[in-house]
Structure 1
């Protein structure tokens, strides 16, 4: 439940993603720090090493000084939730008097709290394995309608299993990066043979991803009822896609070069505990799923999502809004299906939702859908048009939950496309 009376003694703008109700985890660096675990409140990051050094956290500092959060997450939810609860207590108006020194000791405050604009956020986890699902029914229906026909938009298995594939972990990058347009084979509609060159139909995919927080052994399965014990938190995720390369290569084994060149994640992991008050009902699943995929209660999440496109010399253009609540398959079902065959999972593994589209055309989560395969171009503020993403375009994704006047957000997921090498 949300405690509407919970306030921070640090002033937080009402529009900030990082209210006291959030308290996410990430890794930062600056001109003095190579890499350290941190949290966030308002416009500040909270250096967890300095917080522990000052005696406010009982966590091994060496774990907080690692390049990634994997060891911290491996402590388990009782420990990581206790850290989050302690930070909330220290920041709240009615916190223990021991925390008063944080408010009054300026030198101590400046060691622990640093402006977010003065630091660089790093990739939060070492991603051992990455899986991408295809779990938005509106997105799958749209894509299937375009590449097949409306009557056969969804493949026969789609409403029975959370469809997914194993992606490439090495090219997952943190927000703020740039990458070169991918090259590969494409087969133009008017050609009998494939051609090679830079992708012409470079697309975004508006997604989220969840981070595994607890490992299993080979042969073990995770049920929908205990899946949340294995999910540490969520990030925003842009699974860039080269549609022309994908169309040519995906039969019979699925995505390959069309997907493995770059994916972008937001730097802050929003804990599942912070997101819990924003649970909501999802789509009715019909036909009935098999018993191992059944779940109880409202397991979807009301996460508002927005995408902006910024040309090299122009303003940001809002190109779509969507919502995670439109997901047909839940995270719990995705994880249950992923492990039902005994596939083992490890801390830091990342599992992406697949493109999140809503029922309204303004809620489509890819350029492929927004422009209906390029037949309905988007007009930007500068008068230029976009069918897909151009060189030197920057894509910005944002997401947040809001209820009873309380907001928690994910920050930004940003990347720029450079010309092909």
Structure 2
């Protein structure tokens, strides 16, 4: 074989291998795999690397079934055995709530694990993210998440909070730890930061890498009403007394039951969306109890995008910028780059007020995420390494 023919032969082989590899990659992107959020052993729902979601439901008597995901309904088709299947358009990386619609009735997917969100227990699906390692279950020492019931004299009702204690907490009974009080968003509850937010895994991984101080995390239910309103009104209605519950009941209880460093220099508070609004009001009224604050996708001027008058806003708590700087070691704000209106302008107006008052703050923007759990997971990942330093 002549030299020129040999060159063309090998060039052709190389080109064929490249084409084959590209075809396999493209095929792999389209290949569906069971979602991480499925019930054990369930093959559906499934996701692929394009972010598409495929759902399945056995309903031989149904006339119509739809996948309801991301504000859009996708038609599903039924085979001869009565099994319905359908898939969505590509979804953003992150955790998504969804449901199935069968003959006009919205129902949870029996194949998915259930999560409390949108004011109900329902289905959720995890669309893998490129940076998911920071919240993945890894081979590192793991802390413990415990469920704690307590009776609230303020609400005259039983309440619940979850407490994350870092790895080694129960092996060394002499060490004391700082505490982060971490709040959920609207129509979610105290389970959100563990089940959807994976806060315990995020801290396990950060602590194992020496990027964050070992700390206790407390997640309580942000819905707390006066006793008479608790009996007659639903969640989100009535006058909230959550601030009093946290300050007068939860913090003293945690300091009594756990080995905490019970002073403001070792106590932080943060929240997402509604929780950011709540915790900002709490920290500014109780700077004798907290030295660190984090607001994820929310501020206390939400939903207003108007110019903020620091002399009036929150009873003038931001009027003296020097005092705020002296008392708070960290004022941290986070937002997704794709957040819907009015969040960007609302947070922007708040930042302008901080700049005007000379108040120091740290701002983080999560790339390519909206008002969703990946924004808040990344916020927690970037916020906690700055605590208790």
Pair in the same fold by TM > 0.5: no
Point out which structure has higher relative CO (alpha carbons under 8 A, 6+ apart).
1
Structure in which a larger fraction of residues adopt helix:
2
TM-score (norm 2): 0.21
TM-score (norm 1): 0.20
Structure number, greater radius of gyration: 2
